């Protein structure tokens, strides 16, 4: 009886050991599944970041290509540095010995090539000539049948504006900075600033122009003049 009982007890003990082994095995499988799940989540995050990195690179590439296209000569000439009335500008700039690229830049900044433009102070037409100045120019040029409405005519406005630029070119001894200051702020103001600030006819420091609007205007016109030259120098006959 006692021997039999001991044998059964041994079997029960072995059974508990096997159960513990199974529990251990079960725990091991759970750990493996946990590691696989964690690995799967890490892989998913990796794919997520890779996808967004690809999108970011594509966006940068598209932006760069767009910028390159925008900076192309064709696009700049088509949308930024247009040149309507080129024939009239070249013709009258040559007759008056002024830079046609400068004339184009002046018109771009003054009126955006709109012949009907009128400023808040009353300047008229492509080159924004003031009525009093227009009357004086017409008299100096000996223009017959001139009237205020003549300034709305593109060819007349360009003809008179080129003559006036030539006059300023002579007055300020070929200094384009002083010439453009005078065109924007007036001849009187330009001479006053020259005297007050000790400028001579070699003056070239746009940053020293005391009036902000004129300073910005002169800088922009000179920049645009250089761009017109770069884009059109081989496309027009001078």
Catalytic positions, written as ranges: 110
56: left (phi over 0), alpha (psi -120 to 50) or beta: alpha
Q: What are the C-alpha distances in Å from 17 to residues 10, 21, 131?
A: 11, 6, 113
| Calpha distance 113→121 (Å, rounded) | 18
Q: Which residue has the tokens 């390159």?
A: 68
Rounded CA separation 74/78 (Å): 6
End-to-end Cα spacing for the chain:
130
Per-residue CA distances from 193 to 147, 177, 186 (Å): 33, 13, 11
* CB contact burial 145-156 (16+ within 10 A = b; e otherwise): ebeeebbeebbb
Q: List C-alpha distances in Å: 133 to 65, 79, 128, 155.
A: 47, 32, 10, 17
């Amino acid at each position: 009886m006692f021997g039999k009982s001991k044998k059964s007890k041994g079997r029960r003990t072995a059974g508990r050991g096997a159960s513990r082994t199974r529990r251990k095995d079960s725990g091991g499988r759970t750990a493996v599944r946990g590691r696989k799940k964690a690995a799967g989540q890490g892989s998913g995050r990796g794919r997520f970041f890779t996808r967004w990195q690809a999108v970011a690179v594509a966006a940068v590439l598209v932006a760069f290509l767009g910028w390159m296209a925008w900076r192309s000569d064709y696009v700049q000439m088509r949308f930024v540095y247009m040149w309507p009335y080129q024939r009239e500008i070249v013709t009258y700039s040559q007759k008056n010995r002024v830079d046609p690229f400068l004339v184009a830049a002046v018109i771009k900044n003054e009126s955006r090539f709109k012949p009907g433009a009128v400023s808040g102070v009353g300047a008229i037409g492509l080159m924004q000539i003031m009525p009093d100045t227009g009357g004086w120019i017409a008299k100096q040029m000996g223009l017959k049948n001139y009237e205020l409405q003549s300034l709305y005519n593109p060819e007349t406005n360009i003809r008179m504006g080129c003559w006036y630029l030539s006059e300023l070119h002579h007055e300020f001894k070929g200094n384009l900075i002083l010439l453009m200051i005078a065109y924007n702020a007036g001849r009187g103001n330009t001479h006053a600033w020259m005297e007050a600030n000790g400028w001579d006819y070699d003056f070239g420091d746009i940053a020293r122009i005391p009036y902000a609007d004129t300073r910005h205007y002169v800088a922009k016109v000179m920049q645009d003049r250089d761009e017109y030259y770069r884009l059109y120098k081989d496309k027009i006959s001078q």
